[in-house]
Chains A and B, each alone.
Chain A
Amino acid sequence: MSRYYNMCNKNIGRPVCIRTKDGHEHRGIIRRVSTSHVFLEPMPSNLGGYGYGFWGVGPGFGWGVAFGAIATLAFLPFFFW
């Protein structure tokens, strides 16, 4: 089991920035994990709407990143008002 599995499973609901080995950056809220993937809820984009690259996903339609593809994973600093 990938070490990222536990890291993500314990932090569902937190904003995260994942860099994959192909050089892409994925920012989103951790929605759920499977044994092989972490699924992210996209942040709204600055351009309005929820565009995410070529996926074009909307709210509620997260995308999965394979643990094996992850180069780095960082939890993004944030707070609640």
Chain B
Amino acid sequence: MPTDPRPNDETVTLANQIPLPMDHDTDEHIIARVVAGDRAAFRHLFDRHYGRSLSVAQGIVLHRSEAEDVVQEAMTKAFKNLTKFDRRASFGTWLYRIVVNTAIQATRRTRHDRQAVTLEAVSDRLTDPQGIPQLADPEIERAMRQMEPEDRAIIVMFYWEDLSLNEIAGAMECTPNAAKTRLFRARERFRQFYQGGDQ
């Protein structure tokens, strides 16, 4: 008995009610849904870019929980400014720019706060649990801590996240040639700190 290939009304109704699997959607599709008012769709963008964003943020601020706060703050900024996303670059590049800027600001804020503490507070901090290593290799962490956050950002994006110079240029708001120059200098400084120990 031949079956009618056309879905009946009930099937069509159910298909309309069940959301499409978002994993197959591109960032642009999800962004369009979010901009159209589907706030929950942003969760898919968040999940998709959380890991790399956290990695970049942790490489800059060198603290896990602080990096988590940075990513949440950056994601909130991205969500609230999603209508301003001009699609000239990919959403990931645009998001990394926000993450990098937010992480650098957080690092400077933390540094400023630490400069204001007293000697007693510094002494307490030396025994604080926050002194636990944040990276797997203490030598790498020591070298990274001696670098400027902008240099850490470009090293992390290039060697941890394998971003191209074009993508790094988009995230750092510079030209690819400038990104290449910055990478070269940052790498040399890292090597100096890595080989030279504490300066």
Task: Judge: A and B partners, yes or no.
Answer: no
Interfacial residues, chain A to chain B (CB-CB below 8 A): none
Interfacial residues, chain B to chain A (CB-CB below 8 A): none
